[in-house]
Amino acid sequence: MVDRDAVVLDDPVGESLCGHHAHLARRLGRAATYLPEVATFCAVSTDPGPAEWADLARLLGRGELADMFSCPATPPADWEPVFSLEGLQMICPVDSQPDPTAVERDPAVVELGVGDVPEMLGLIARTSPGPFWSRTHELGTYLGIRENGTLVAMAGERLRPPGWAEISAVCTVPEARGRGHAARLVRALIARIKSRNERPFLHVAESNTDAIALYERLGFVTRKPVTFRGFRTP
């Protein structure tokens, strides 16, 4: 059955930049991207022409990364391919979302803020869950778990197309894995997202079978395969 509410997830970056994250966007013509200290994701229209690609190149600057996320449009030939990664887009069906009071029932989960950014960046450096910059935390709520005062696990919200919130940056330091931290954090985020009458979704590398299994246990189902691509501007 087609989930008609999920159509906006076909362009999650563009929908976010036009809406909830408009205050974090840079735009030229129909091309858009985030402020560089927030995220590297870019958006163009469904069928961009040469002028639109030129606008994006001017917006980013010469020799800069254009992280096209899951956008299927192909840039001009002089845009150097940087990476391509196969992944899945997963959504949490309405009837599988947990009780929104789950956040209050898990005292180990704490909300992270600007004062925690150095620790968050350190955790990202150790675990490599995906791109995360000095202001990425401004995209949404980020939650963490500490052990003996040290941040050992984290997860948060990233893209925000209308009616949806993406769960991202799910990571745990190696020495704290196997204790259920990721599941606790994702459950807490699902509950918070549901409390706003939004729905959770996420992206995961196709090769990350452990993460996929975790998300499936938490009720997520695959909506579609995606290809993440990045290019270098001419």
* Structural domain includes residue 175: yes
Q: Are residues 190 and 75 in the same domain?
A: no
pLDDT digits (tens, 9 = 90+) for 216-231: 999 999 999 999 999 9
Question: Does residue 78 sit in the same domain as residue 93?
Answer: no
Place of tokens 């299994």: 213
Looking at the predicted structure, is the pLDDT value of residue 2 above 60?
no
Total structural domains within the chain: 2
In a domain, 231, yes or no: no
Q: Kindly tell me the sign of the dihedral angle through the C-alpha atoms of 209, 215, 216, 217.
A: positive
pLDDT tens, position by position, 85-95: 999 999 998 76
Tell me the pTM.
0.94
The answer to whether residues 149 and 115 belong to one domain is yes
Which of 86, 102, 135 corresponds to the end of one domain?
86
In this predicted structure, what is the pLDDT of residue 221?
A: 97
pLDDT(175) > 80: yes
Quick one: 63 and 159 in the same domain? no
The reply to whether 101 and 212 lie within a common domain is yes
1-5, 81-85, 177-181: lowest mean pLDDT where? 1-5
Where a domain ends, among 63, 86, 109? 86
Q: At 98, is the pLDDT very low, low, confident or very high (cuts 50, 70, 90)?
A: low
The CATH number of whichever domain residue 148 belongs to comes to 3.40.630.30
pLDDT in tens, 104-144: 567 889 999 999 999 999 999 999 999 999 999 999 999 99
Residue 173 is given by DSSP the state -
User: According to the 3-state scheme, what is the secondary structure of 39-67?
Assistant: CCEEECCCCCCHHHHHHHHHHHCCCCEEE
Q: Supply the range of the domain harboring residue 47.
A: 4-86
* pLDDT score of 73 more than 50: yes
Query: Residues 22-48: pLDDT tens digits?
Result: 999 999 999 999 999 999 999 999 999
Same domain, 80 and 150: no
